[in-house]
């Protein structure tokens, strides 16, 4: 697995990129995703995530996590998926999870738990979105919440 972690330079924070990478790997392994994948995690600030939320979701406000899947599923059942030529490096590029560090900090304080626990929850949530889970679809919400809970339980045992 190739997990790319980028912490934006203008954020004055000290996060362990190896720890973040391990958190990203947990839902991928739990969902039996092959090792031949690439996924990126970006830790950013409020202004940048608000800009992305506005540009891609039409919501002009900060949010905690955004996910951008490289292989979005077609909404219309009759549309055929587009065939892509495989990348020369042999890796399947899944997409990118973007987390607002300031929002994670706010939510951790409001919930009374650690920043690491909040970051883990946001990362798992974002990765599951990339893997096709969608809590905004009522029929999928229970499955997504159950997977989040199970994976976070494993993370708490091993990494928190």
- The pLDDT value recorded for residue 113 is 94
Domain extent, residue 89, equals 2-158
16, pLDDT greater than 60: yes
Which of residues 88 and 3 earns the better pLDDT score? 3
Counted domains in the chain: 1
11, pLDDT greater than 90: no
Separation of alpha carbons 105 and 90, rounded Å: 37
Q: How many CB atoms lie within 10 A of CB 42?
A: 19
Which of residues 96 and 72 earns the better pLDDT score? 96
Q: How many CB atoms lie within 10 A of CB 77?
A: 5
Per-residue model confidence as pLDDT tens digits over 135-157: 888 888 899 999 999 999 999 99
Separation of alpha carbons 71 and 130, rounded Å: 9
- The pLDDT value recorded for residue 72 is 52
**Strands of 92-100's sheet in order across:** 2-7, 37-44, 92-100, 65-69
If you average pLDDT over residues 72-95, what whole number do you get? 58
Helix (H, G, I), strand (E, B) or coil at 39: strand
Task: Read off the pTM.
Answer: 0.87
Q: How confident is the model at residue 134 (pLDDT cuts 50, 70, 90)?
A: confident
Separation of alpha carbons 153 and 113, rounded Å: 15
Separation of alpha carbons 8 and 40, rounded Å: 13
- The pLDDT value recorded for residue 94 is 92
Average pLDDT over the chain reads 88
Following CA atoms 37, 101, 144, 132 in sequence, which dihedral angle do they give, to the nearest 10 degrees? -40
Q: Which two tokens stand for residue 62?
A: 């900060």
The full 3-state SS of 70-85, as one line of letters, equals CCCCCCCCCCCCCCCC
85, pLDDT greater than 70: no
- The pLDDT value recorded for residue 155 is 95
CATH of the domain at 32: 3.40.390.30
Q: How many CB atoms lie within 10 A of CB 51?
A: 14
87 DSSP 8-state letter: P
């Amino acid at each position: 697995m190739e997990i790319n972690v980028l912490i934006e330079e203008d954020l004055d924070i000290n996060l362990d990129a190896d720890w973040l990478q391990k958190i990203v790997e947990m839902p991928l392994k739990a969902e039996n995703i092959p090792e031949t994948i690439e996924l990126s995690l970006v830790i950013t600030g409020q202004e940048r995530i608000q800009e992305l939320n506005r540009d891609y979701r039409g919501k002009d406000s900060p949010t905690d996590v955004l996910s951008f899947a490289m292989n979005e599923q077609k909404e219309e059942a009759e549309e055929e998926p587009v065939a892509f030529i495989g990348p020369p490096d042999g890796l399947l590029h899944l997409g990118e999870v973007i987390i607002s560090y300031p929002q994670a900090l706010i939510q951790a304080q409001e919930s009374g738990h650690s920043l690491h626990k909040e970051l883990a929850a946001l990362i798992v949530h974002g990765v599951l979105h990339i893997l096709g889970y969608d809590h905004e679809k009522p029929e999928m919400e229970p499955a997504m919440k159950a997977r989040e809970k199970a994976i976070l339980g494993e993370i708490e045992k091993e990494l928190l």
